[in-house]
Amino acid sequence: MIKRLEFKKIISSPIILGLFVLFLLFNCFLIYEQSSIRNDMKSLQPIVKETGTLMDDEGSKKLQISHEEDLNTWNQLAESKTGDTYQNASDFYKPELYYSLIESKIYSEKELQDINELAIKETYLNSIQDIETKYSTLNVMENAEEGIRLFGLKGAAAEKVREQYTVLKPRVEELIQNKEHLHLFFHGKMFGTHSFLFKTLFGFMLFQAMILIVLFTAFIVNYEFEHRTALVTYATKRGRRLMWDKLLVSTFASTLVTVALLAITLSVYFIVFDYSGMWNVPISTGFLIELNKIPFISWWNVTFIQYLFMSCGLVVICQILFVLITFCLSMLIRNSYIVFTLFGVIFLAGLYIPSLMPKDSTMLLYTHFSPFILVMNVKKWWMESGVFTTFKYYEILTVTGWLIVLLLTAWLLIKRFARENI
Amino acid sequence: MRILFNEVRKLFSVKIIFLLLLVSFFVYQQFIMFEFKHFPNGRPLLDDFRATQKMLVDYGESMDSEEFQDFKEIKEQRIAEATEYLKSQKEMVAAGIDTYEEFSNMDLENVKLAALHSKIVFEDYVDVFWEIQARDWIIDRYEHPERFNEHELTQEQNARMDELVESGATEAIFTDMVFENYNVLMKYVAILIFLNIMIILMPLYIRDKRNHVQLLQYTSKTGRKLFSQKLLTGLTASLIIITAQLAFFFFMYRGNDTSMFFPLSINSIFNFFVSWYDLTFFQYIILTVLCVYLLGIALVLVGAWISSIAPNYMTSVGLHVPLAFLLFGTGTTYLVQNLTTIYLNPYLVPISFAIILVLSSLLFLWRYRREKVKNI
Amino acid sequence: MLIVEDVTKNFGQFHALKNINLEFHNGVYGLLAPNGAGKTTLIKMLTTLLFPTRGSIRYDGEDIIKMDERYREMIGYLPQEFGYYKNYSPTSYLLYLAALKGIHRKTAITRVEELLKTVALDHVANKKMKKFSGGMIQRVGIAQAMLNDPKILILDEPTAGLDPKERVRFRNLLTNLARDRIVILSTHIVSDVESIANEIIMIKNQEVLYKDTVSNICRKIDGLVYETEVSYEQTEQFRTTYLSLSEKQENGSMYMRFLTEDTAKPEWKSVHPNLEDVFLYIYQDGVRSDDQTA
């Protein structure tokens, strides 16, 4: 009952609702801005239907044959129209020919569409070789060394990093063995879907949810003090245990807000961008590699859909951490806007602290186990993620560690509050 | 005056000052210090900067064709030095690379040669090789000022470009490195300033309203005039903040050692920025400072309005969120950075400021008139 | 002289006050009504926090809203919920308000010192108010109302939180002040005003019911108030028949003070009515419904 009433305090505030809607609109706008690539992305599905996602020898052969057939068809058409034939589809786009072809309107819209799809197919086909070479020569230890040199790590810190990459090594072998890297997926260099989805969208959603959550948590914890009802409420039967209710309700509301934000935004995303047939592609596939050429090496063999849900789950848990941080702050400071500002300060401090650590101390690595650094890097969750955070259980350790510490702190603060003079 | 002083003092409580310092510290650490510590950021930018500084010393504010010859000669000298250096390296001689000419045409596909190349350039950091590269770039820019016209431009823009070449403004020895660095810094400083203003103005009206002090204030002689006095308070407080922050910033910025660029035209070909006006770097700096003040004032008007209508701090902070989003993103990009750029309509900035200031004033005025007859 | 003429105040559909006519001269006025009867509305109009829907309030013939700061310069006001800054000392708080009241700084400093002595807070003059008791805060409130030596002093529930000793001091202070100014005292504690108010104003059903001296008001129910002894068994019955004003247990039976228009019975002892009797008599039916509109 009391929980429901506390919950109502959050829901009935127009600003929370207003911001929530505003954030959703903004996310839709982001998706809309990106939506120009949706048609090109769509040309992957017919390919997958034809050949399956796995591009091992057999799969790539199929793709190659299919590509040759299509190219032949195209060349027949091209020959009849202009007398040209093409070695490969990308030749069609050579600037010296392309513009005159377009201007003379020799090809119909539909035909241009076909050659475009063919060119895309060709890109996928050509990538297979690159990916195979890349993974067969991939040496994560070298990556580790490069990172160590780049960030100037020394001594124990450098050793620890090497240790972690040694753990990663067999996983890379396993990945190659499983042929996880050879599954067709939206081409990272062309579309950058992973970055858009897991960096841009998830990044924004994390911050949006965080803003809402810090706002209402700070608000309801100190609601009684700001409304001068503290004396009445804390003298009732429920009394100061009301704080537990408030904590519980904030947690519940944060989960609700986060899930709603994720669900709605992602629904829009997947309606705009068709992922059918792609859900079960391993997230470590080489096709995802983007312009920076860094491969995605997940610690476990997970599919895209699994990865998506794992990440959503982690977002929800991160928000619970933020609830707890805000809750603890609010128990110490009774002014909600100062709590809000302090939260921001703590967030920045969390990002800053690692840079204070000596370059040869493992503390440098352990200070990266914070939710603030965690949420800055959604794109690389559950994966090899650079020298500082490549630990097999980095995400899990970070959130459980903080969860325990924060719960304890919250518990202590509630205890303290029980004896506090109001 | 005493009322104003009292109100300002109320805003700058010890707690808030401490909070502002904390915020400023972390924003500086996270976003700003980098641009100080790493200016110029790595090579070849460092070499570019050094070469440019030397140009300034040797040729004064701009480089005419005679001086340009001299500049090229220095490059030839450097090439000679480089060749000498190569000759002194046994492995290079062994590999048949004993002139700079050969060095610059090295086959980098060849693993062995590539290793030698990167040893000199990236491991030993032999300055002269970097300097030649930087000088090459400068010479290239100087010889091809027409690159300005790569973009598709309107007639006015083209005319402006031509005018700049004619007037010789493009020959100014001013580098984009300095300009970019300043622009990035100014954006963060502006954001920090706006953040500070938001924090300090948050309680402006809410506090006394929620506290019921308002009842006493509005029945005193000053009465509801206090509402406008508080706006004045907000303006004073933010002017203090803006000035203090800018003073600190420029104190820090001195460390970047760019003062010799102050009197130079920002329309130089060594800068990628083209302005509608003949501005020197110093004038441009003044312009950005002015814009920060103006945006700060607009922010005070909107922030004061929010503080006066929000029933509680949650609403107030909540309303600041979209405002911050607009201001920190679009606001700073168009109204602090890229001022007078040729790629935007010359009237965009003044008109935007006029609209922003008028609208925010109207917003506040409307609120003020309602406050005068409001039942408390 | 302060005149309230035909003042009506509506909040939307809700009528808070109807056709109020009042005249204030120097002296203490007790504004007596149960909570929610419109006391605070009237007071807020007298302090320009609310504006009358109809009618006007005039000081020496001039509309107080038009007088603006010339009017507010003359008033001292202690609201029911009066706000203060926890981190301020009484001195700095009073100096802050003195600035708002337009008092010259030098004058203000001596005045504040004086006033803090008057309200017996001089020993904590520079301590933060964070730790003050309710009574101490209330005394700060009283001090701030007197800062500008107001011609009109308006106090809303001023004695809340004061102990009996402080109350007496406060009453004496008011009597002194009222010699050359208007003091309007809103309260629902009858004893606060009974002894010091020159006139009592009673509001009922959004209108002024009485504005008269204490004795004149008491005279309205002269001869209707009695005291008698009733056995416990009969009390319930007695209460429903007559309006009970106060009850006291003594020696195994109940002493009742009550009001009736019936003819007196021999065991009843007729007594002089006091203000509280009138209060209870007038508001006997209205108390509950008034509360709901509050």
Pairwise CA distance, residues A160 & C289, whole Å: 77
Nearest CA in chain B to A340: B317
| Yes or no, beta carbons of C49 and B375 under 8 Å apart | yes
| Residue whose C-alpha is closest to residue C27's, from C212, C162, C221 | C212
For residues A20 and A212, the answer to whether their CB atoms sit within 8 Å is yes
Residue with tokens 């004086």: C114
Across-strand partners of C20?
A: C7
* Cβ burial C187-214 (10 Å sphere, 16+ → b, else e): bbebebbbebbbbbbbbbebbbbbbeeb
Q: What gap in Å lies between CA A259 and CA A262, rounded to an integer?
A: 5
A258, A383: one domain: yes
Of A211, A337, A342, the CB nearest to B321: A211
Is beta strand C253-259 parallel, antiparallel or unpaired with respect to C225-230?
antiparallel
Name the band, by pLDDT with cuts 50, 70 and 90, for residue B197: very high
CA neighbor of A198 nearest in space, from A347, A402, A385: A385
Contacts 24+ apart (CB under 8 A), B41-48: B43/B125, B43/B130, B44/B130, B44/B133, B44/B134, B44/B137, B45/B177, B46/B130, B47/B127, B47/B130, B47/B131, B47/B133, B47/B134, B48/B134, B48/B137, B48/B138, B48/B175, B48/B177
Pairing relationship of beta strands C54-59 and C27-32 according to DSSP bridges: unpaired
A173 part of a folded domain: no
Note the Cα B320 to chain centre separation in Å: 24
What are the strands of the beta sheet with C225-230, ordered from one edge? C243-250, C253-259, C225-230, C269-270
Residues A30 and A93 occupy one common structural domain = no
- Backbone phi, psi, residue C17, to 5°: -140, 145
CB contact under 8 Å between C72 and B223, yes or no, is: yes
> Which residues in chain B have their CB less than 8 angstroms from residue C44's CB?
375-376
Q: Cα(C101)–Cα(B216) distance, rounded to whole angstroms?
A: 10
Chain B: closest CA distance from residue A351 (Å): 8
Question: Do residues B150 and B214 both lie within one domain?
Answer: no
- Same-domain pairing of B302 and B331: yes
Q: Which of B91, B123, B154 is the last residue of a domain?
A: B154
Asked, for residue A149, whether it belongs to a domain, the answer is no
Q: Which of C11, C29, C9, C27 is CA-nearest to residue C19?
A: C9
Q: State which residues form the domain around A133.
A: 54-137
Q: Would you give the DSSP letter of residue B347?
A: T
Q: Computed from CA positions of residues A185, A189, A190, A196, in that sequence, does the dihedral angle turn out positive or negative? A: positive
B27, B62: one domain:
no
Residue C9 sits at φ, ψ, to 5 deg, of -130, 120
Q: Could you tell me if residue A171 is inside a domain?
A: no
Round to the nearest angstrom and report the end-to-end CA distance of chain B.
26
Task: Look at C83 and B213 and tell me if their CB atoms are within 8 Å.
Answer: yes
- Count of positions (residues) in chain B: 376
B257 vs B114: which has the higher pLDDT: B257
Looking at the fold, whether B51 and B184 belong to one and the same domain comes out as no
Looking at the domain assignment, is residue B336 inside a domain?
Answer: yes
Regarding whether B181 and B135 lie in a shared domain, the answer is no
- State the Cα–Cα distance between residues C101 and C99, nearest whole angstrom: 5
* Per-residue pLDDT at B132 exceeds 50: yes
Cα separation of C171 and C144, whole Å? 17
Under a CB-based contact definition with an 8 Å cutoff, are residues C242 and C258 in contact? yes
Q: Please indicate, yes or no, if residue B10 is contained in any of the structural domains.
A: yes
Half-sphere exposure of B170 (CA within 13 A, CB side): 21
User: B309 near A7, Cβ under 8 Å?
Assistant: no
Alpha-carbon dihedral angle through residues A402, A404, A407, A408, given to the nearest 10 degrees: -120
Counting as contact any 3 or more CB pairs under 8 A, the partners of C are B
CATH 3.40.50.300 matches C2-218: yes
* Domain membership flag for residue B6: yes
Could you tell me the residue range of the domain that residue B196 belongs to? 2-37+174-372
Nearest CB to B27 within list A14, A15, A348: A348
Q: How many domains does chain A have?
A: 2
Chain B neighbors of A30, CB-CB under 8 A: none
Dihedral of alpha carbons A352, A355, A358, A364, sign: positive
Per-residue pLDDT at B252 exceeds 90:
yes
The residue among B122, B154, B186 that closes a domain is: B154
Let me know if A382 is exposed, middle or buried by CB neighbors in 10 A (0-12, 13-18, 19+): buried
Q: Quick one: closest CA in B to A348, which residue?
A: B26
pLDDT at C291: 38
H helix intervals, chain B:
2-11, 14-27, 33-37, 45-59, 65-88, 90-94, 100-104, 111-118, 127-143, 155-167, 176-201, 206-211, 213-218, 225-253, 281-309, 313-326, 332-335, 348-372
- E strand or H helix that includes residue C96: helix C90-100
Same domain, yes or no, for A238 and A365? yes
Coil, strand or helix: which one is C247? strand
What SS3 class is residue C76? strand
Are residues B271 and B148 both part of a single domain?
no
What's the number of domains chain B is made of? 2
Q: Which positions of chain A have pLDDT values less than 70?
A: 422
3-state DSSP call for residue C4?
strand
For chain A, the first-to-last Cα distance in angstroms comes to 25
Write down the pLDDT at residue B95. 77
For residue A86, is it within any domain? yes
Give domain status of residue A176, yes or no.
no
Q: pLDDT class for B149, splitting at 50, 70, 90?
A: low
pLDDT value for B150 = 58
Residue C279 near residue C190 (C-beta atoms within 8 A): yes
d(CA B33, CA C129): 42
* Residue B167 belongs to a domain: no
| DSSP 8-state symbol, A282 | B
Nearest to C185 by CA among C275, C76, C111, C291: C76
CA distance A42 to A49: 12
Determine the residue among C51, C73, C100, C106 to mutate to test chain B binding: the one whose Cβ has the most chain B Cβ atoms within 10 Å: C100
10-residue mean pLDDT series, chain C (294 residues) = 92 90 92 84 91 93 90 90 87 92 91 92 92 88 91 88 85 87 87 86 88 89 88 84 86 86 86 88 61 36
Let me know whether A265 and A335 are in one domain: yes
B164, part of any domain: no
The rounded distance, in Å, linking the Cα atoms of A286 and B197 is 48
DSSP-derived 3-state class of residue C90: helix
> B215 and B304: one domain?
yes
Phi/psi at C63 (nearest 5 deg)?
-60, 130
Cα separation, B116 vs B299, in Å, equals: 57
Note whether B346 and B211 are same-domain residues. Answer: yes
Q: Per the domain annotation, does B31 fall within a domain? A: yes
d(CA B337, CA B181): 11
First to last CA, chain C: 30
Q: Alpha-carbon distance C109 to C104, whole Å?
A: 9
Selected residue of A30, A340, A352 to mutate for chain B interface (largest B Cβ count, 10 A): A340
A202 and A329, same structural domain? yes
Give dist(CA A262, CA A147) in Å, integer.
33
pTM of the model: 0.87
For residue B40, whether the previous peptide bond is cis, meaning omega lies within 30 degrees of 0, is yes
Contact between A298 and A284 under an 8 Å Cβ cutoff? The reply is: yes
For residue B163, tell me if it sits in a domain. Answer: no
How does strand C27-32 pair with strand C182-187? parallel
Residue A309 lies in a domain: yes
**Residue A349 contacts B where some CB pair is shorter than 8 Å:** yes
| Axis crossing angle, helix A202-221 with helix B313-326, rounded to the nearest 10 | 160
Mutation choice for A interface testing from B33, B317, B323 by most A CBs within 10 A:
B317
**Predicted local distance difference test score (pLDDT) of residue C292:** 37
Identify whether residues B259 and B343 lie together within a single domain: yes
Sign of the C-alpha dihedral computed for residues A116, A117, A122 and A128 taken in this order: positive
pLDDT-wise least confident of A92-96, A204-208, B196-200, B334-338: A92-96
CA B365, CA B360: separation in Å to the nearest integer? 8
Higher-pLDDT residue of B47 and B202 is B202
**Within a domain: residue A327?**
yes
Answer yes or no: do B278 and B343 share one domain. yes
Q: With an 8 Å Cβ cutoff, is B322 touching chain A?
A: yes
Nearest residue on chain A to B15, alpha-carbon basis = A338
Nearest to B22 among A14, A216, A345 (CB): A345
Global ipTM: 0.87
Domain spans of chain C, in order of start: 2-218, 222-293
CA A415 to chain centre: 37
Cβ burial of B25 (10 Å; 0-12, 13-18, 19+) is: middle
Looking at the fold, whether A31 and A58 belong to one and the same domain comes out as: no
